[in-house]
Amino acid sequence: MTGTIWFLLLGLIIAADFGSAEVPAIFIFGDSTADVGTNNYLEGCKAGADNRFYGIDYPHSKPTGRFSNGFNTIDLVVRQLGDFEESPPAFLYLVQNMSCFKSNILHGVNFASGGSGICRETGSRPFTNVVPLGKQIEQFATVRGNMTELLGEAKTESLLANSLYIISVGSNDLLEYVRYDFKNKSSPSLLSNLTFA
C-alpha cells in the first residue's frame, strides 16, 4: 500500500511539472499497473484483463485490457497533463490496426504488458506469454523508426526529446522471486539478475 501511495505521489509530481509544459507524446513501459490492452493481443497469454468486471467503471462499461475496474493509474497521471484523455493506445493494438498506426504513434504508445518484468523470464511461468521490458524497448525502436520515416530524423529527435516517458515495472520480478526462487537464491543473486537485465 505504501508503494502505491509513493507511486501516485511521484506521478502527480511529474504531472505537475509537465502540466505547464507542452508534451507532444507519452511513451509508457511496464506491467499490469500500466497495461491498457497489450495482453489482449498475445496468443496464449494467461494474464488477461478482458473480463467484464475489469471495465465496469470505464466509459461504456466495457473491458479494455486494463487491470482495473476503470481507468488505471497511468491514465490518471496522463489526464493531469490536460491534453490527454487517457493513456496512449497499446502498441499491439496499433499493429493490429495499421490504418491508424502512424497517425497515433506521434502522440505516444503504451508498451506495458501485465505480468511482465525487468527480467526476460518474468511472467513466463505463471502467465506463459507476456512482453518483458527488453521487448517493449525493441517495440519502441520500431515506433521510433516509423516516426523517422514520417517526420525525418531532426523532427523525430525533437519530438522524442520533449516527450514524457513513464516506466512502471519491477513488482512481478520481486513477486516471482519470492514465489519460485526464494529458497534457491540469495539476495545478491536477485540484485545481480535485475542489474544485468
- Report pLDDT digits (tens) over 125-171: 656 678 888 999 999 999 999 999 999 999 999 999 999 999 988 77
- pLDDT for 83: 79
- pLDDT one-digit tens code per residue, 56-65: 556 666 766 6
Q: Where are the domains of the chain?
A: 2-196
Give residue 195's pLDDT band: very low, low, confident or very high (50, 70, 90).
low
Give the Cα separation of 161 and 174 in Å (integer).
31
Instruction: Say how many CA atoms lie within 13 Å of 197 toward its Cβ.
Output: 22
Q: Is 18 or 45 the better-scoring residue by pLDDT?
A: 45
Range of lowest pLDDT (13-27, 77-91, 179-193): 179-193
SS3 84: coil
Question: To 5 degrees, how large is the angle CA 179–CA 185–CA 188?
Answer: 115
